[in-house]
Amino acid sequence: MTYYSKYGSKFIRYNILLFVVPTVIILLLGMFRDISLYRISVSILLIIIIVLVNTFKPVKYVFTDHQLIIHNGIKKSKIYYDAITHVELTEDIIVGGNKAAKSEDAIQIDYTGGVYDNVKVSPREKEAFLKELKKKAVKAKFNL
């Protein structure tokens, strides 16, 4: 079963900030360090491309027999159902963990054995996603 992310205003504002801050820093460094306009332009173009890909490429959540696979841009995360310990609703999509949520109407999945200790997801079909997750992650505690 495959689900896709939904978008929220907080996520879009966050990505605008991700674009503006590095751009200003690059422009200021370029002015004070006498860096060529070409290098500054290329750097800003790379930032624009990265932010646009991150903002508009939907996150895909795939349920397999043994794991939840999250395709987020160029990053792919695998979470085994047995490793999921806790699932709860959250509105905080910016701080902590693996951020695969693009809306404030998110779900935090706590798990063990990964690089992060949790992942935040925001599927468009939230109820169907949770129903599928409850079937697969039988050991997890759900606080919804």
CATH of the domain at 135: 2.30.29.30
Give per-residue pLDDT as tens, 35-67. Answer: 888 888 888 888 888 777 777 778 899 999 999
Q: Backbone phi, then psi, for 70, in 5-degree steps?
A: -115, 115
d(CA 127, CA 7): 16
Q: What is the pLDDT of residue 8?
A: 67
84 confidence band (pLDDT: 50, 70, 90): very high
Give per-residue pLDDT as tens, 107-139. Answer: 999 999 888 889 999 999 999 999 999 999 999
Domain that holds residue 40: 1-144
Q: What is the tally of structural domains in the chain?
A: 1
* Average pLDDT for 85-101: 81
